[in-house]
Chains A and B, each alone.
Chain A
Amino acid sequence: MSAKTTTSILYLDGVSVSFDGFRAINNLSLVLEPGEMRAIIGPNGAGKTTMMDIITGKTRPDEGEVFFDGRVDLTKHDESEIAMLGIGRKFQKPTVFESHTVEDNLVLALAGPRKAIPALFHRQTKAERERIDEILQTIRLTARRDELAAALSHGQKQWLEIGMLLAQDPKLLLVDEPVAGMTDAETEETARLLREIAQTRSVIVVEHDMQFVRELDVKVTCLHEGTVLAEGSLDQVSGDSRVIEVYLGR
């Protein structure tokens, strides 16, 4: 396995997966460098979410290689292990623990031991409390920390989930459509938040909102039918004739 060592944080090569004969991912290759933020665009059914499923261990690829941090073969680990390796994921539909308070959502996400029985006797440390205060500040939910997550607006749930990712402190974040259903002001705020996060981590953002992608100002990969159609700056990609044909429209 040492022969495969790369310097990249995420390395996908020749990955394919089919569901009932449908090739959701077809010979996909993608490399992400440490500290890089990448935006993934593409039409519906291009395989964006399936790609995230493969990276996070929810789906096993039929063929191809998926390496994390240059050496860990992700196809050999399940969701929990991959999360513990340092890959965090935000879902398309905001998924938070609705019957817990905003603060408790962060408490559960906070990096630390994940065993069942020690959790019985867990006491919050000062460092943990401070970290949670800090994250609440970042995601601007300090005032609502004691409210149930179910009571948050859609945009605030998205932020809470991003806050949970921060608490989890992963090396690589996969963020699926973070601004779907957000107002313009919220979208702008989210772009700011993600750029802040990307200063210390690698991030993959899947997004349809081209305005938002422009705001992120990062390298863009366009997927189509489970494979990479174009890669480069947003202007390059959006100028590509094939991208215009399948995705942006003429």
Chain B
Amino acid sequence: MITRFLAGGLERRINILLAILVAAAVLVPVLHLAVPASSPLHMPTYVVALVGKYLTYALLALALDLVWGFCGILSLGHAAFFALGGYAMGMYLMRQIGARSVYGNPDLPDFMVFLNWKELPWFWHGFDHFWFAMLMVMAVPGLLAFVFGWFAFRSRITGVYLSIITQALTYALMLAFFRNNMGFGGNNGLTDFKDILGFNIQADATRSALFAASALALALGVLVTSALVRSKYGKLLIAARDAESRMRFLGYRPENIKLFAFTLSAVMAGIAGALYVPQVGIINPGEFAPANSIEVVVWTAVGGRGTIIGPIIGALLVNGGKSWFTGALPELWLFALGALFIATTLFLPKGIVGAWEEWWKQRRERDGRAPMMSARNPIESPAE
């Protein structure tokens, strides 16, 4: 059933995207590890880390697009789920440090020793195990999204009101995580990681593996999202986006349709966050900052919401631009980002991918090739 479901999402463009991601997962580690540093084909460590980070952003943007583009839920708090996944991974990585920490306490992370804590808080238990941490990476954001969505969608909170409370959610989490008493390292967050699954986190091979894992996670995200939106459930998602009350009078419960997408999207964001943290080496409450969530919206809008490829292109382009911009003209970056969002809204309301699709359709019509829809049914209705 699952195989048939996933196969339902395959179409040409998705296949190409999947092929590129899988190829990148193989080629980049080869170019990074096997090609000598003197060769022009060699991929330096910082590029691997940077692009690997972008891929996790792309997965986050895809997760947002599932709820925003396909279901009309403009979440301005999706970075919260990303950060929660990141914290779950960070807690595992902290536990791996063991006695190699500055204070050398084998049982407690440094910040707890510093706070004079005598024993590990209950919610840190289990994070010594990778499998448990991975479970939490998905379960914590998923559960939060489920509970939040259950109340919000049942109360029929939609549109801008929903956006505002998602923003409030991430802001509240940021304030909470800033507190030392919370037990997540306060404003310093979790950092100084040593190894993951026994491999040195700084090693080239580990970085390559994390890159490959990010590319494959994104590929899986694409496959699942694509299959989802092409199933009957996907049609329900779009219907809930466009005419929620109509659905009710057909007997559907749009709140349940939305809740499933919202929860799945949060899980995807959590996985993205978990892959992000070992590649950047730190997770702190700044990741919950409202501006982060808004940036994700910008990536998605620029690339093209309501498409699978759009948010990925948007995340890669905008972040590539950001890396260049913050190097060349750091003080202008935020202005550039704002201008980009305004320009997209005004001139490319469907984003890059949407505009490209439109252009392609127009070109085909100009070339005298009728669009596919009417070509299949050349006879016009007599009722017209």
Residues of A whose CB lies within 8 Å of any CB of B are 56, 58, 78-81, 83-84, 88-89, 91, 95-100, 104, 107-109, 114-117, 119-122, 140-147, 153, 156, 159, 164, 168, 189
Contacts and interface: CB of A to CB of B under 8 A. Distances in A.
A188 to B, nearest CB: 12
Contacts of B5: 120-121
A143 B238 contact: no
B384 interface: yes
A19 B231 CA distance: 42
Interface size class of B (residues with CB under 8 A): 35 or more
B34 interface: no
B373 interface: yes
A33 B276 CA distance: 65
A120 B231 contact: yes
Contact of B257 (A88, A99, A116, A143): A116
A95 B235 contact: no
Given A104-B235, A164-B250, 4 more contacts: A79-B248, A98-B243, A108-B247, A141-B381
Contacts of A168: 250-251
A155 to B, nearest CB: 8
A140 B381 CA distance: 7
B374 A107 contact: no
Contacts of B381: 140-144, 156
B256 A116 contact: yes
A88 B242 contact: no
23 contacts: A89-B249, A95-B243, A96-B243, A97-B238, A98-B243, A100-B238, A100-B239, A107-B232, A108-B235, A108-B252, A114-B251, A114-B253, A115-B256, A116-B259, A120-B5, A121-B1, A141-B383, A146-B376, A146-B377, A156-B383, A159-B383, A164-B250, A168-B250
A100 B239 CA distance: 8
Contacts of A80: 248, 251-253
B248 to A, nearest CB: 4
Given A120-B228, A142-B381, A146-B377, A99 B242 contact: yes
B232 A119 contact: yes
A146 B242 CA distance: 18
